[in-house]
Amino acid sequence: MLRFLAKRGASVLGHARSFSTPSQVVKPTPLKVLFMGSGQFAMPSLQLLKHRTDFVSELELVCPPDRPKGRGQQVVPVDAKVWAEKYNVPVHQPSPDTDFKLTGWEMPPGDFDLGVVVSFGYFIPKRVIESFKHGMLNVHPSLLPKYRGAAPIQHALINGDDKIGMSIIDIHPDRLDAGKIRRQAVFPLNGVENYSMLVEPLGMMGAQLLVDVINDIARGVVNPGMDQPITTDPNIPRAPKIPKSRGHIHWETDHAVQLSNLWRGLNGFLPVFTFFNGKRIQLRSLWEYKGSLLNDPEWLASSPRPGRIGYDAEYDVLAIECADKTVLSCKLVKLEAGKDRLAKDFANGHLHSSKIGWTDAHFSTEQPIDAQ
């Protein structure tokens, strides 16, 4: 599936919007590039720049500091640092107590021609931007000005969009994700993709767009970019950081399609969860249910209730009633401190299944007070 998505992203690059002026072929003047970023989405850009020695003479990395991770709180480096040290790319890191605006942080020594920011997690101050001869570029996974913010992929999926995209922009000295657009491309969605499936192919798409823009800069191609509208229009959705509580299901108000889109947007990022018998439980692989259980006389005769659970043995899914009697299917569940379990295993272990596979058991929106 990832290979297919990567090919889909590559197929639309030929239709990318560029704002550069066509010119004669000129041999590029290689640039000294400082890359700021880490994470799965950033890695394709970092790796591709390392291999494009035709227009990148030197490459150095700034990444977040090593931090404690996991139950043992062992201090581990980010993936970008591990890769950079393996391939002899110089690494620089802010101290762990450096704030979001990089207050007091000093640029690495040397005169860099260009800065590149991909999933860095810090606001770049004006003094840093102005230290680069050609300014700084940012790879942002949305069709700006839509979805400015920290989580554009997640919000696009949660909202059920039929397309997402990639923008290469200048870093703006005062506002996040508001710089001039240098290049932009659309990535169509089919309604089945989830966050974990999209990070890698979108990262590859962004990397290719990025090197196209940098190649233009190295060759002296004029690209004035396109200004973004400075607007607070509520019709242009934003993409703020998503709190852990966003994965909490509210059966009384959430519809099946909404919950399917929520899972698509959060899968691989944050768990989608509810409560069962007083304990928290994660639900995975969520889709609108349209199976035969909906027409079963006993299911229809039982009392409708948001969170009501049935089991469809034909497709091995839980069927869960949501707001307005819409129904959600769930293929996998994960109990506290447990492993992923198929719907069949959960039904056999926790539900009183009848011959037709339905039950009056239910998930709860809130954890009972006596179970907290």
Residue ranges per domain, the chain? 2-218, 244-371
**How far is the C-alpha of 268 from the C-alpha of 255, rounded, in Å?**
22
pLDDT at 233: 78
Query: Tens digits of per-residue pLDDT, 308-336?
Result: 998 898 899 999 999 999 999 999 999 88
For residues 266 and 154, what is the distance between their CA atoms, to the nearest angstrom? 6
Give the CATH number of domain 2-218. Answer: 3.40.50.170
Q: Which of 39-53, 123-137, 339-353 has the lowest mean pLDDT?
A: 339-353
pLDDT higher than threshold 60 for residue 368: no
Query: Same CATH fold, 244-371 and 2-218?
Result: no
- pLDDT at site 12: 54
Q: Does position 201 have pLDDT exceeding 70, yes or no?
A: yes
Superfamily of domain 244-371: Formyl transferase, C-terminal domain (3.10.25.10)
| pLDDT single digits (tens) 66-104 | 988 877 788 889 999 999 999 999 999 999 999 999 999
Cβ-count burial of 81 within 10 angstroms (0-12 exposed, 13-18 middle, 19+ buried)? buried
Distance CA 93, CA 105 (A): 10
Give the pLDDT confidence of 103-130 residue by residue, as tens digits: 999 999 989 999 999 999 999 999 999 9
% of the chain exceeding 70 in pLDDT:
90
pLDDT value, residue 352: 60
- pTM across the whole model: 0.90
| Stronger pLDDT, 43 or 370, i.e. the higher one | 43
Band of pLDDT at residue 5, cut at 50, 70 and 90: low
Do residues 271 and 290 lie in contact, with contact meaning Cβ atoms separated by under 8 Å? Answer: no
246 DSSP assignment: G
Least-confidence region, from 140-149, 278-287, 308-317: 308-317
CB 116 within 8 A of CB 37: yes
pLDDT digits (tens, 9 = 90+) for 287-298: 999 888 888 887
2 pLDDT higher than 50 = no
Q: What integer pLDDT is reported at residue 330 of this predicted model?
A: 97
- Residue 337: pLDDT band (50, 70, 90) is confident
CB 281 within 8 Å of CB 189: no
Confidence of residue 366 (pLDDT cuts 50, 70, 90): confident
For position 315, what pLDDT does the model report? 92
Q: Which of 265-274, 337-346, 349-358 has the lowest mean pLDDT?
A: 349-358
Contact partners, residue 80, CB within 8 Å, separation at least 6: 37, 38, 39, 42, 43, 46, 61, 63
pLDDT exceeds cutoff 80 at 371: no
User: Tens of pLDDT along 202-261?
Assistant: 999 999 999 999 999 999 998 888 998 876 778 889 999 999 999 999 999 999 999 999
What confidence score (pLDDT) does residue 6 get? Answer: 56
- Summarize pLDDT for 218-228 with one digit per residue, the tens: 999 988 889 98
